[in-house]
Structure 1
Amino acid sequence: MDRYYGLNQSMVDQYAPRPGERELIPDLSDKAKVALMCRMLFKEGWNEHIAGHITYRLPNGNVLTNPWELAWDELRASDIVTLDHQGNILDSQWNTTPALGLHMQLHNARPDVNVVIHNHAHWSGIWANLHEIPPVYDQAGAYCGNDLPLYNEYQGTFEDSGKTQSAVEALGDAKWALLANHGSLVVGRDLRQAHLRAITLEWRSKRAYEVRLAGGGQPMPESVIEALTVSDINGFPFCWEAMARRELRLDPSILD
């Protein structure tokens, strides 16, 4: 049975927001949601200067992404760039990173992937540099399951579109990956799902590193991890909205 913080699915449905009852966040444009996503993940450790990129495929096939020139903690809705399905810029004077090639190929290869996130995240980046998979030690690290592939792109797989395609094939249907000596990659059906995966990966990595520094601990059994895994249907109740509200309180100009 899918569980959320000890709640079964029927209990989750009971506490899910109902239209017209309460507004958790204001109506947001798609560009505002992407800008918020960048700000939210910056706070979680996905914050290596101007590195990193998020792509969000819209129902019409266009893709929204952050510009190359701006750091994630300064982005506003008006900075977000619209691309066509081939990666051509449609509505911005900003540039986009050439590394978006992998994103576009992931979108094309996987109909289930509408969001791709990459950055040189702090805690998961440590494990990528160690070429190790962080064990799961607590509930918050178990929200997205245990399986986490490690992929070594520096063997030459990102040099051109053909080699990037080999990386897409190697990642298969994974929901996330550590990129050896580089950083982290997370994909998702929508922004809410991708957000939960990104923050879970970083929390899991942080806790595992702290446990190692403290002298070691006992990882959770696979059966317990499975029981704690959050269903991807609804995501963790209210988490995305709570983190969005935090950013809006700090800087309402995100919506500009």
Structure 2
Amino acid sequence: MEVNFDNITVIGFDADDTLWVNETYFREAEERFAELLERYETKNKIDQELFKVEMKNLELYGYGIKGFMLSMVECALDLSNNTVPQETISKILHLGKDMISRPVELLDGVEEVLQKLAGHYRLIVLTKGDLLDQERKLKRSGLSKYFHHVEVLSDKKEENYENLLDHLNIAHDKFLMIGNSLKSDILPILNIGAQAVHIPFHTTWVHELVSEEERVNHHLKLNNIVDILKYLKH
């Protein structure tokens, strides 16, 4: 599609699965969780029940590994009728701790892109999740030096973006968002009059999927973050 980013002065980057690998670790943890509970239910049923518990708990815990850990514990208690062994609960907690301690794996081309864009645009991180965990990952990534501002949002809806852009004195028509989620990074941005670039990740959480009716075509979709350099000053 034809795009024109000449008016853009500020670029926002999603973090998880846009700058570094994230969702892959959740899928791996879910596999191990299902193995721990295989005496109680089938893997498919365990996956379904865990997702239900996560959705129920989102308003309480928000997004991130800690809420995921608590939801796994709750799901294990539910599926076992409160008979799951203490050893299994301990293993579930270790699943979460292992996720938190994983080294940050940058996606291909990320640092090259940030290096080239940093001198021409104001770069910011707009992500959701657990504040402490996201701060930790950003520090481990070595990417902090490229960003003027980092914001960990409780959610990524139109209101969240509007409030933040207004707070940072960023005109909507001068803002470009780059992310992997149509639901969180693309649709809300387009709805407030800003621009967006979608770079899909090979694994997407079910909660972040959108229906065909919700899909839009007036945004740029790329296969790799390096391809954005074809459209922006560097």
Which protein has the bigger helix share? 2
TM-score (norm 2): 0.29
